[in-house]
Amino acid sequence: MLSGMPPIDVRDLGRLSTITAVLARHGFGGLVQAAGLSATPSGPTASAAAPWATRARDALVELGPTFVKLGQVLSVRPDITPAALIEELRGLQDHVPEAPWEGVKQVLEEALGGPLEATFSQFDERPVASASIAQVHLATLRVAEGVERQVAVKVQRPGIERVIRSDLHILHTLAGLLEGRVELPGLYTPQAIVTALERAVLEELDFTIEAQNAARFRKALARSPEAYVPEILLPWCSRRVLVMERVDGEPLSAITPDDPRAPGLARLIVDLSVRQVFDEGFFHGDPHPGNLLVLRDGRLCWLDFGLCGSLTAEMQDTLVTLLAAMVFEDAETLALTLHRAGGAQGRLDLRAFKGDIERLMMRYKGASYARLSERGSLLDLVELTSRYRLSLVPEYTLLARAVSLLDGVLRALAPGEDPVHLIRPHAARRLSERLSPERLRADGLRALLQAQGGLKSLPLQVSQLLMDLERGAIRIEAKDPDAQRLTDALGSAAFRLSLALCASALLISGAILITAPAAPVWGLPLGVVFGLALVIAAATMWSGLVAHTLLGDRLSLAGLRRRALGVLRFFVGRG
């Protein structure tokens, strides 16, 4: 859970009941039960014959805007989401009825700090687009005295942040209850998945992040006369309102392969995308056809910068190697590079990993977009790394999803093109730049500088090591999982033996007190009373011994404590 995120509040219990009922109705009652909850399906039960991914998508849609947005976030995380579910979520749209104008106007005036008429000379009350988090209106902005601009205004739906935070609280609680009870495919636990979703959704709620992304993107593509990014009017932007230049263009989805502009646009998209990744280290994470326009002068316009990725210089170098290995069909280099780029969870079978990569390359070799899978090669590659338990950084998985979307765009524009043919010149150029004398000289100097720093501090580190050895401050431990299991078994046996000895001693002592003649004290047979008490105590200890013998492998104090805390968090909130 992110810092400051409180557990579920009692006020959210009604919403929790709705969520569990919808999940049960769509065939996920087992998941609800695994969380230790019960639910009665509400309404007609979904068809059991429908694929589980289809039922999951339908459940998200029924649960409303927050869960639709969560589904969209899941659709761009192939490292978290199974392939079948990604396919179902690919076209998930969040078209919802427009919010009441009075609420929208209040949000605008609170963000602008004054009446709407003071900022806009004209404002269309009917939105041109309405989604789960925000809706877009057309307006005329008063820039200065006598100066106006035609703008598009993205305004957050009234109350949506409170709803999303409430649903995230519930998801955190459900994930906590499922932790350790269900095993998910891939590398992520339920809590880790919800945390990743939470971070992505909360960033989308802050429009200042999107404004900064758009301004950076506009600056990055300013050197490309074929590309255009609308200007973001930062003085009028805030967390809940985004004001940008209005542009008129033709949706890229309207361009058919028969259009004479199609081949040039396909090459332009590839060129600009490669430039984003390798020159700027900053790329558009959601380049679907709705976010790409063709302007009247032929330029390609990019929209919606709520989801962008940043790459470090090291990541860019890794991607150059990956790109070259894929284009020139070097499976071994690709396998080794992915292994270095992603942390391996356990031992990696490199031979099998290389073999699967070779089979993947053969599938894409010489194929046109029309013959390729709609998923795209990079998504298949990310899924493969997840199957081999290699954990890639989120930027790589976001890039894989972006490339998959671009594959779909290029498929519609130029279905006969070979994607490897389109990307090969870029791969060759980037690799030659990587191996240029200037770059090799710079890398060598950097390595020497790092080595100099390490060698300079080496005598001090050796002296410190010798001092620690002299004081006995260094301890070397060897851990053997089998030895630990043997130690646990011996400890459990010793506990049972001690319990049996104590119970036997109490039983014998009690029997002696009961049978031994003793004079009453104050009229009470105290010997018999104490004897019976010892016998009862002995019987209780024997019962505990039997329970520990039969159920000891299933009982865990840590697990019992976690479950108890999970139940308490249902009813106690931290505000």
Number of H helices, E strands in the chain: 20, 13
Structure tokens at 315: 């990541």
Q: Which long-range contacts (CB under 8 A, 24 or more apart) does 419-422 make?
A: 419/364, 419/369, 419/372, 419/377, 420/327, 420/364, 420/365, 420/366, 422/266, 422/267, 422/270
Strand partners, 250: 294
Cα separation, 457 vs 444, whole angstroms: 20
Under 8 Å between Cβ of 88 and 57 = yes
Q: CB of 271 within 8 A of CB of 187? A: no
**Residue 94 a catalytic site member:** no
520, two tokens? 């009453």
Rounded Cα distance, 405 and 402, in Å: 5
CB 402 within 8 A of CB 286: yes
- 444 class by beta-carbon count within 10 Å (0-12 exposed, 13-18 middle, 19+ buried): exposed
Task: Tell me how far the alpha carbon of residue 56 is from its chain's centroid.
Answer: 17
Cα 472 to Cα 458, 465, 468, 476, distances in angstroms: 21, 10, 6, 11
Distance CA 95, CA 201 (A): 17
Residue 391 sits at φ, ψ, to 5 deg, of -95, 105
Task: Provide the Cα torsion 204, 207, 213, 215; round to 10°.
Answer: 160
Hey, what are 357's tokens?
């990569």
Give the helix/strand (H/E) hosting 402.
Answer: helix 394-413
| Beta-strand relationship, 227-228 and 249-251 | unpaired
Please tell me which residue in 58, 79, 286, 407 is annotated as part of the active site: 286
- Can you tell me the distance from the alpha carbon of 321 to that of 43, in angstroms, rounded to the nearest whole number? 53
Catalytic positions, written as ranges: 286
